[in-house]
Amino acid sequence: MSIAPFDATGLGSRLRRLSQLMLADVDRAYAAEGLAFRTRLFPIVFALHRDGPLSISELTALSGFTQPAVSQTVRRLEKDGHVRISAGRDARNRNVSLTPAGQALVRTLQPFWDRARRAAEALLAEATPDFMASLQSLEEALERRPLSARIAAMAPAATPDGAVDILPFDVAFKKQFHDLNREWVETFFYLEKYDIEQLENPERILEAGGEIWFARLDGRIVGTGALYCHGDGEYEVAKMAVMPGLRGRGVGRKVMEQLIRRFRERGGKRLVLATNSKLEPAIRLYRSVGFVDYVPEKPPEYARANVFMEWTGNDTTTE
C-alpha cells in the first residue's frame, strides 16, 4: 500500500521511507561488491576524510546526528581500527582522526562512492532535477524554525494570561523542571554535561542563592525559568522552558517578568543571559523586556551559546 495519499501531513514518514529504501539499496550494493562497509558509517568516515581531524561536537554538527549516535559510531570505527581518538578538553571535544587503516579503507571505497554519486545524480535528473536545492532549502527552514514550533503556532489561542499562575520552586515540581527543560534543549540542540547536572539537581541553584519559578495553567505546570545568583549582585536568567503547545502564547513572558521582578526586589546590579541565534522568538522576547547584546569576558559554559544579552532596565515589567 502506498503512503502517497498522506499528503504533507505525512512528510516526515515519506522522507523516512525514502531514506530507508535508498540506504538499504546502497548497503546491498556494498555487500554485492564484497565491501565490508555500511551506510550508517559513511557520514563520519567521509567527514573525517574530507575535513579531519574533527572533535565529537564538530562531527555531530557536520553529520546532523545526535551526539550519542556519533559517539557510538566513532567507538565502532575505533574498535575496527579505522579511527583514533585523542584527548580534548572534555568528552565533546575529543579529537577523532582516521588511522592508516582508515585511510586505506577510504581509498578502497572511493571508486564505489564515485559511482554511487553518479548514480544518485542520474536518479535525480530522471525524477526531480531541483531536489538537492529544495532539500537544502528545507533543511535551512527547519534550522530557522523547527516543525514542532510551526505546529504549535497553528494552535488555537491559549487560555487568557490571567489564568496563568506563577509559583516558586517546590520539590513537587522537580520533575517538571527537568522534563520541560530537557524537551526544550533536545528540540533544538543536545544535552550537555552542565545541563544534566543542573536539571537533575535544581536544589543546587537554590543553595547558591538562586531562584526557580514555574507557570501553572489549568492545574498543569507549563513553563519554568531560573534566576542564577553569581554573587556581587550579578544574576543570570537561565533554564527558560515552555510546553511546546503554549510557546508564543505569553507564558514565557510571564515567567521572564517574574524573574526580572525578583532581580529588582533583591537589589541586583546586573542581569545577563546566554542563548543561541536560532532561537529567534526567544530573542525577540528578551529584547522586548529590555535585554541588549553584549560581549562576555569569559567563554560560555554551554557550547551552544552564541548570543549574550544584558538587561538594561528599559522594559514594560510592572513593579
Kind of pairing between the strands at 54-55 and 83-86: unpaired
Chain centroid to CA 295: 23
Q: What is the DSSP letter of 311?
A: E
Q: Are 212 and 225 in contact (CB under 8 A)?
A: yes
Q: What is the DSSP letter of 156?
A: P
Q: Residue 108 is part of a domain; what is its CATH number? A: 1.10.10.10
Please report the pLDDT score of residue 265 as a whole number: 93
pLDDT band at 4 (very low <50, low <70, confident <90, very high): low
- Residue 21 resides in a domain: yes
Alpha-carbon gap, residue 174 to 190, rounded angstroms: 21
Share of the chain residues as helix, strand and coil, in percent rounded to the nearest 5: 55, 20, 25
CA atoms 309, 312, 316, 319: torsion sign: positive
**Among 23, 24, 2, residue whose Cα is nearest residue 13:** 2
Please report the pLDDT score of residue 103 as a whole number: 96
pLDDT band at 318 (very low <50, low <70, confident <90, very high): very low
* Confidence (pTM): 0.52
Q: What is the mean pLDDT of residues 143-164?
A: 64
Q: Are residues 178 and 275 in the same domain?
A: yes
Q: Are residues 170 and 130 in the same domain?
A: no
Q: Are residues 192 and 112 in the same domain?
A: no
Is pLDDT above 50 for 202?
A: yes
Please report the pLDDT score of residue 319 as a whole number: 43
CB atoms within 10 A of CB 117: 10
- Residue 154 resides in a domain: no
Structural domain harbouring 189: 159-311
Kind of pairing between the strands at 270-275 and 307-311: antiparallel
Helical (H) or strand (E) element with 264? helix 251-265
- Residue 278 resides in a domain: yes
The residues, ordered by sequence, that sit 6+ positions from 265 with a Cβ below 8 Å of its Cβ are none
- Residue 316 resides in a domain: no
Is pLDDT above 50 for 157?
A: no
Q: Are residues 43 and 128 in the same domain?
A: yes
Q: Are 202 and 169 in contact (CB under 8 A)?
A: yes
- Residue 167 resides in a domain: yes
Which of 94, 120, 144 delimits the end of a domain?
Answer: 144
Q: Are residues 122 and 181 in the same domain?
A: no
- Residue 150 resides in a domain: no
> Which cell numbers hold the place of 245?
503547545
Is pLDDT above 80 for 285?
A: yes
**Among 263, 264, 271, 220, residue whose Cα is nearest residue 242:** 220
User: What phi and psi, each to the nearest 5 degrees, are found at residue 82?
Assistant: -95, -15
Alpha-carbon gap, residue 172 to 147, rounded angstroms: 31
**Among 41, 5, 11, 8, residue whose Cα is nearest residue 26:** 41
> Which cell numbers hold the place of 298?
569569559
Helix, strand or coil, per DSSP, at residue 239:
strand
Q: Are residues 171 and 118 in the same domain?
A: no
Q: Are residues 74 and 123 in the same domain?
A: yes
Q: Across all residues in the chain, what is the average pLDDT?
A: 85
Q: Are residues 237 and 165 in the same domain?
A: yes
CA atoms 293, 233, 197, 187: torsion sign: negative
Number of structural domains, the chain? Answer: 2
> What residues does 228 pair with on adjacent strands?
236
Q: Are residues 168 and 139 in the same domain?
A: no
- Residue 96 resides in a domain: yes
Alpha-carbon gap, residue 241 to 291, rounded angstroms: 18
